[in-house]
Amino acid sequence: MDWYKEALYIREQSMKSNELFGTSLPLIASENILSPLCKEVLLSDFHGRYAEGTPGNRYYEGCEFFDNVELKAIELAKKLFRCSYADVRPTAGTTANMAVLKALIKPGETATVLDTADGAHISFGRWGAAGVRGINLVFYPFNDEEMNIDVDGAKKVIREVKPKLALFGQSVFLFPTPLKELAEVAHEVGAYVVYDGAHVLGLIAAGFFQDPLREGADVMTGSTHKTLPGPQGG
């Protein structure tokens, strides 16, 4: 086998993809375009280094510049989303959701959530991170005409089920979630409110969408390669 030839084939496919999307208008809402600055940093020496741990407490030497970047990213995230705590380590939005599920709910406990058939992200479904965690999922009713959660029906579900977590946020949706009304009910029964803002994070940051942390969410997760254009990450 000619390994060099095989490598050139991979390069050729990469170039063809560049050409395709360089002359097209992709309308996939979960994608974005990296800035030249972002591409430059991804091609830097950071790319091939380990930085396991947290700033000032790494398992590898030579991570002082990683520390500087991570601390700056945390500082900026807290300012951007007006929150008291931010973690920029997750490698994807799903990874961020997994961290939240691990921290706030135990296997066998109950969470309320929208069904994936109604637009919820797969990580909050039975075949995603929630299912892997062993969570009992109870779905909110959905209003097909309004294309949004049925508020009265969802309130009833939350009050009856008394979930440990009330999960919100979608990967397919047109309108803001009626979060404020539902968060109030969730807090009444002692539930944590989690909002997955991955697909609209840039709109939230810019003030062009709902503001989950001001509308009752205890935790908001997201990703950095959709409406918040950056590298793949959460």
Question: Can you give the CATH number for the domain in which 201 is found?
Answer: 3.40.640.10
3-state class (DSSP) for residue 168: strand
Q: Which amino acid is at 40?
A: E
Question: Beta partners for 221?
Answer: 196
The stretches in the chain having pLDDT less than 50 are none
Scan for tokens 């430059």, then name that residue: 40
* Residues 112 and 140 sit within 8 Å (Cβ to Cβ): yes
Share of the chain above pLDDT 70, in %: 100
Q: Which residue intervals of the chain are DSSP H helices?
A: 3-22, 36-42, 64-81, 93-104, 129-132, 151-161, 179-188, 201-206
Q: Is 62 left (phi over 0), alpha (psi -120 to 50) or beta?
A: left
**Shared-domain flag, residues 175 and 202:** yes
**Shared-domain flag, residues 73 and 168:** no
pLDDT of residue 29: 80
The conformation of residue 47, written as its DSSP 8-state character, comes to: G
pLDDT in tens, 79-121: 999 999 999 999 999 999 999 999 999 999 999 999 999 999 9
Report the domain count for the chain: 2
Q: CA-to-CA distance for 164 and 101, rounded, in angstroms?
A: 10
Q: Tally DSSP H helices, then E strands, for the chain.
A: 8, 9
pLDDT of residue 69: 96
**Shared-domain flag, residues 180 and 159:** yes
Q: CA-to-CA distance for 234 and 232, rounded, in angstroms?
A: 7
User: Is 0.95 topped by the overall pTM?
Assistant: no
3-state class (DSSP) for residue 228: coil
Scan for tokens 């001001």, then name that residue: 214
**Shared-domain flag, residues 102 and 69:** no
Q: Going along 59-155, which residue ranges are E strands?
A: 110-113, 136-139, 142-143, 148-149
| 23 assigned to some structural domain | no
* Residues 187 and 159 sit within 8 Å (Cβ to Cβ): no
Domain that holds residue 61: 31-83
pLDDT of residue 111: 98
**Shared-domain flag, residues 76 and 108:** no
**Shared-domain flag, residues 78 and 95:** no
pLDDT of residue 30: 83
Question: Beta partners for 137?
Answer: 111
